[in-house]
Structure 1
Amino acid sequence: MSMSLLITGLALFMAVHLIPKAPRLRLALVGRLGAKPYRGAFSAVALLALAVVVWGFSRSPVEQVYAPPAWGHPVSMILTPIALVLFAAANMPTRIRALVRHPMLLGLLLWAFAHLLANGEIRSLVLFGGFAAFAAVEIASAAARGKGPPKEPPPRIAMDIAAVVVGAIAAGLLAGFHGVLFGAPVL
C-alpha cells in the first residue's frame, strides 16, 4: 500500500506537469477556470501530489536493491547544492538561466542522481529514479522541440549571485533539517 501511494503521487505529480505540454487541454482548463484559478489548481494538485509522494516514501519498505558506492554520499553532497542553485536560477533572470537550457529540469536530474548515488533501497530507486527519468525525458523532449531558455538581454551578475545565495541557503536549511523533514539525516 505504501509503495502504491509513492507511485500514485509520482504519477500525479508528473501528469500535472505534462498539462502545459498539451496546449489544447491547458487552454481548455484556463478557459473553463480562468488563468489565476488554473495556476492555483495546478499548484494545489502539484503540492498534493508531493505530499502523497512524501507520505508514501516515508511508509514504504526500506529494502536494499544495491549498495551505494563509498564515494556516493560525498558526491551527492556536492551535486545537491548545485541542483538547488539551478532551481533558484530557473526562476530568476540570471546568466545561468541564459546558459543552461533547462535549469529547473537539469537541477531535478542532478538532485535525483545525487540521491541515487547515496541511497540504494527500492523506495529511493522508485522516487529518485522516477524523477531522474522524468527530467531526462523532458530535457530531451524540449531539445527536440528546439525549446531553450528565453531570449533576454544578459542580466546583471547580481542575479546570479542571488541565485547562488538562495541555493546555498536552501542547501544549508535542507542539510540541517533533512532528518526532521524526511527521516534521514544528511550528515
Structure 2
Amino acid sequence: MRALIFGLLLFLGLHSLRIVADGWRSRMVARLGENAWKGLYTLGALAGLALVVWGYGQARLAPVVLWASPTWTRHLAGLLMLASMVLLVAAYVPRNGLKARLRHPMVLSVKVWALAHLLANNTLADLLLFGSFLLWAVLDFRSLRQRDRAAGTVAAPGTTAGTLRALLIGALLWAALAFWGHGLLFGVRPFGA
C-alpha cells in the first residue's frame, strides 16, 4: 500500500503544482528552461504513475474490503464511463460543443472516471486511488476555471460536426474498453464473466 500512496503523492502532487504553487512552478520553469522543466516533470510523473500501477496491483493481491458493492453499481459505473470517454475524446476533437461549453472536458472525464470506479469498487486501495483522483480533479477543475476567468479566456465555438465526432469516437472508445480492453489491460471485465 505504501507504493500506491507514494505514487499518488508523486503523480498527483506534480499535477497539482498549478493549483497550490503556481508561482514556484513559474520560477522553476524560468530558472531551468521550459524543456528541462518538462523533462523533469515527465520523469517524475512517469515514476509516480509506475508506482501507482504497481502499488495498486500489489494491493489487489490482499484486498481490504470496506463495504459491499451491489451489482447495480457496476452497471451505473458502465454508464458513467460512457460519459467519461466522450468527455476525454472531447478534449482532443477540434471544434466540438462539449469543449466549447465545458472548457476542460479532460478534467471532467477524470472526475466521472473516478466517481464511476468508486461506485463499483469497494476496497481500501480503490478508495485511495479513485478518491485521490476525484479530489484532485475537483480542485484542478476549480483552479482551471479561475485561471480562465482571470485571463479572460474565450473558448472556440463548437460545431455540430465536431460534437457528433466527439460523441461517436467516445462511444466507440467506451465500447472497446468495456467489452475488450478493460479485461485485457486490467484483468477485470465490466460486463463479462
State the TM bucket, normalised to the shorter chain.
Answer: 0.7 to 0.9
1:180 is matched with which residue?
184
1:170 is matched with which residue?
173
CA deviation after TM superposition for structure 1 residue 103, in Å: 1.6
Identity level (%): 35
Distance 1:98 1:172, change over 3 A: same
Gaps of 5+ in 2: none
1:154 is matched with which residue?
157
1:100 is matched with which residue?
102
Distance 1:166 1:9, change over 3 A: farther
Residue aligned with 2:157, SS:
coil
Give the distance between the partners of 2:155 and 2:184, measured in 1 at CA.
40
2:8·2:52 contact (CA, 8 Å) conserved in 1? yes
Gaps of 5+ in 1: none
CA deviation after TM superposition for structure 1 residue 150, in Å: 4.0
Distance 1:85 1:59, change over 3 A: same
Distance 1:45 1:165, change over 3 A: farther
Greater mean deviation of Cα atoms: 122-131 or 87-96: 87-96
Of 17, 20, 29 in structure 2, the residue corresponding to residue 19 of structure 1 is: 17
Distance 1:37 1:88, change over 3 A: farther
2:115·2:134 contact (CA, 8 Å) conserved in 1? yes
Tell me which amino acid in the other structure corresponds to 1:103: P
TM-score, reference length from structure 2? 0.83
TM-score, reference length from structure 1? 0.85
CA deviation after TM superposition for structure 1 residue 133, in Å: 1.5
Greater mean deviation of Cα atoms: 156-165 or 128-137: 156-165
Residue aligned with 1:147, SS:
helix
| Backbone CA RMSD of aligned residues | 2.3
Aligned residues: 184
Greater mean deviation of Cα atoms: 45-54 or 151-160: 151-160
CA deviation after TM superposition for structure 1 residue 18, in Å: 1.6
Distance 1:12 1:166, change over 3 A: farther
